[in-house]
Amino acid sequence: MRILITGGAGFIGSHLCDRLLSDDHSVVAIDNLITGSSNNISHLSENKNFSFIYHNVADYINFSDPVDAVMHFASPASPSQTAPTGYLQLPIQTLKAGALGTLNALGVAKKHAAVFLLASTSEVYGDPLEHPQSETYWGNVDPIGPRSVYDEAKRFAEALTMAYQRTHGVDTRIVRIFNTYGPRMAMDDGRAVPNFIHQALRETSLTIYGDGKQTRSFCYVDDLVNGIVALLESREHHPVNLGNPHEITIMELADAINKITNNTAGTVFTDGRTRSDPQQRQPDISRAEELLRWQPCISLQVGLQKTIKFYKDKLAAHK
Amino acid sequence: MRILITGGAGFIGSHLCDRLLSDDHSVVAIDNLITGSSNNISHLSENKNFSFIYHNVADYINFSDPVDAVMHFASPASPSQTAPTGYLQLPIQTLKAGALGTLNALGVAKKHAAVFLLASTSEVYGDPLEHPQSETYWGNVDPIGPRSVYDEAKRFAEALTMAYQRTHGVDTRIVRIFNTYGPRMAMDDGRAVPNFIHQALRETSLTIYGDGKQTRSFCYVDDLVNGIVALLESREHHPVNLGNPHEITIMELADAINKITNNTAGTVFTDGRTRSDPQQRQPDISRAEELLRWQPCISLQVGLQKTIKFYKDKLAAHK
């Protein structure tokens, strides 16, 4: 298959490129590199099955070559209040990537009768009043708050994708991605895993916001990519949650990272931030288990080891 | 002031044109007439302060003349499952009017440092779990259902409007419009008031879906327009509900219309439709009362008389 991936130089997008290339597909990545990085795909530059187009998906995508699938992954995605690549720092770009980007990517899929897959998010559930969240939950989202630039853009993207399926018969998929971690997350992404690893590799104390007892669930990126490929190969039009339902406390995460990195500086506690991290969300993955025979299988221990190795190598290369 | 009104040939948009012209403003109406009608503005064709541009707001609005306010009213708005102008029949156009139309209209406002007013809707509350709905309620909307083409488009439009206010300093307003009726609603609009009047003027029985005990609240269009103008003149960036909080049963509405039209054919009952009409919604208008000193003051009796006269005259003219 020939597959177009918007946001192909991003964290998840670039892993998807790797996986699809290793499955012998041909991949075209589109990215404007405002949150993605050419470092994430530089190892593919000699691969004859890979090509890269520098382009903003909010602008019309002029793509005349035949294509079998279009996967729309382009968007800022970090909720960090301070990270320069977070969607709170890129509000208009985020809204445009969700609305115009989805429209343009759907246009390519429609033109070529290709499968379309939308990367949606657990943030469509907002501050959920149901735990865990299943795909039938309608969510609890503030339409006018600062985070609405991401949440509402993705909800709009889902509505648009369903409308293209119903009206134009485009063969669509929607994946709702929960917290994911792994190599190639930007070091300044602002989320817990890269923050902690960053501090641990510098042998400083890991900063815990709040009492550390709040829980999160983290999915390793290879698990996620397996699920996305399974969804692409399915015929399921309705949204499917992908994420790791196993919850751990932030304290446990910090301890695990300190242990793997042999960081003896421990942890420090500071006041909780107001909504800079996603609120607690936990995926109900029964649909993915049933429809795709998918479940995450990489342990936090193994996933963190791989992730830490990536950052270690990166820091060593910069010395 | 010079005011640009998208959807200026629509039901509410055309009343707004009339009102602003009578207040000595200059008005430019933009419309592609897919749900609006040139009949709604034909009486303005000789008015030197009025001009009309035939244009789809989903396409870039090339407007170089200075303008003081941009009011974005363009969108299909009827939830009818059968009306050709309902948003369920125009799903992609509705999504585009909400996203691209709002973006383009905001672009004009930004360029000219004009006030921007978004016509939003009570449908951002979806199937509300709180009654009545105040502006702080986040709503209960299905992001992937057929109606999401309108609900999510308007939620996205609100998020985009707030982002332009926060990021670009555009001086924005958001009005959440509840059920409104009056002259110029399309006869085939599919909603209760035009349906009933249509039947009554043909001296047939009024068709009531369900037992007629379900309640609705209806605001006469002149009341609504007063509130919109007051909001435009305010400095309020956050959404403001405008609607009539007075609830009546569908049976009472039917009886009132039969009485005014001297229709002796009465009513017939049939099975309730599934979500073809909005679910029950009732506005909490305390913000409008406090901020704008606004409340609806036209009684249902008077509003219906004016509306029925309009349709009567229209039918007579076609004979």
- CATH code, domain with A13: 3.40.50.720
Q: What is the pLDDT of residue A273?
A: 61
Q: Please give, rounded to a whole number of angstroms, the shortest distance from the CA of B19 to a CA of chain A.
A: 29
Q: What is the pLDDT of residue B273?
A: 61
Does residue A319 fall inside a structural domain?
no
pLDDT of A280 higher than 80: no
Selection from A61, A78, A76 nearest residue A116 by Cα: A61
Does residue A318 fall inside a structural domain?
no
pLDDT of A312 higher than 60: yes
pLDDT of A10 higher than 80: yes
Q: Which of A213-217, A238-242, B151-155 has the lowest mean pLDDT?
A: A213-217
Q: What is the pLDDT of residue B190?
A: 86
How much is the pTM?
Answer: 0.96
Residue pLDDT, tens place only, A181-197: 999 998 888 889 999 99
pLDDT of A274 higher than 60: no
**Sorting pLDDT into bands at 50, 70 and 90, what band is A275?**
very low
Expressed as residue numbers, the domain containing B124 is 2-181+221-245+281-297
Q: Which of A266-280, A285-299, B68-82 has the lowest mean pLDDT?
A: A266-280
B167 interaction partners in chain A (CB closer than 8 Å) = 91-92
Does residue A259 fall inside a structural domain?
no
pLDDT of A299 higher than 60: yes
Ranges of residues in chain B whose predicted pLDDT is under 50: 274-276
Residue with more model confidence, B187 or A134: A134
Indicate which residue of B150, B164, B220, B311 is catalytic. B150
Chain A residues whose C-beta is within 8 A of a chain B C-beta are: 91-92, 95-96, 98-100, 103, 124, 126, 138-144, 146, 148-149, 151-153, 155-156, 158-160, 162-164, 166-168, 174, 238-239
- Averaged pLDDT for residues A268-288: 77
Does residue A157 fall inside a structural domain?
yes
Does residue A210 fall inside a structural domain?
no
CA distance linking residue A6 with residue A21, whole number of Å: 15
Chain B residues whose C-beta is within 8 A of a chain A C-beta are: 91-92, 95-96, 98-100, 103, 124, 126, 138-144, 146, 148-149, 151-153, 155-156, 158-160, 162-164, 166-168, 174, 238-239
CA distance linking residue A232 with residue A230, whole number of Å: 5
Q: What is the pLDDT of residue A189?
A: 86
Does residue A39 fall inside a structural domain?
yes
A146 interaction partners in chain B (CB closer than 8 Å) = 166
Mean per-residue pLDDT over chain A, rounded: 95
CA distance linking residue A244 with residue A149, whole number of Å: 25
Beta carbons of A152 and B153 less than 8 Å apart: no
Q: Which residues of A form the catalytic set?
A: 150
* Per-residue 3-state assignment (H helix, E strand, C coil) for chain A: CEEEEECCCCHHHHHHHHHHHHCCCEEEEEECCCCCCHHHCHHHCCCCCEEEEECCCCCCCCCCCCCCEEEECCCCCECCCCCCCECCCCHHHHHHHHHHHHHHHHHHHHHCCCEEEEEEEHHHHECCCCCCECCCCCCECCCCCCCHHHHHHHHHHHHHHHHHHHHHCCCEEEEEECCEECCCCCCCCCCHHHHHHHHHHCCCCEEEECCCCCEEECEEHHHHHHHHHHHHHCCCCCCEEECCCCEEEHHHHHHHHHHHCCCCCCEEEECCCCCCCCCCCCECCHHHHHHHCCCCCCCHHHHHHHHHHHHHHHHHHCC
Q: How many domains does chain A have?
A: 1
B138 interaction partners in chain A (CB closer than 8 Å) = 126, 140-143
pLDDT of A319 higher than 80: no
Q: What is the pLDDT of residue A279?
A: 58
ipTM of the complex: 0.95
Closest Cα in chain A to B136: A142
Beta carbons of A140 and B138 less than 8 Å apart: yes
Q: What is the pLDDT of residue B276?
A: 45
Q: What is the pLDDT of residue B279?
A: 58
Of A95, A139, A156, the CB nearest to B153: A156
Beta carbons of B156 and A156 less than 8 Å apart: yes
Does residue A14 fall inside a structural domain?
yes
A167 interaction partners in chain B (CB closer than 8 Å) = 91-92
Q: What is the pLDDT of residue B272?
A: 66
Does residue B270 fall inside a structural domain?
no
Q: What is the pLDDT of residue A211?
A: 87
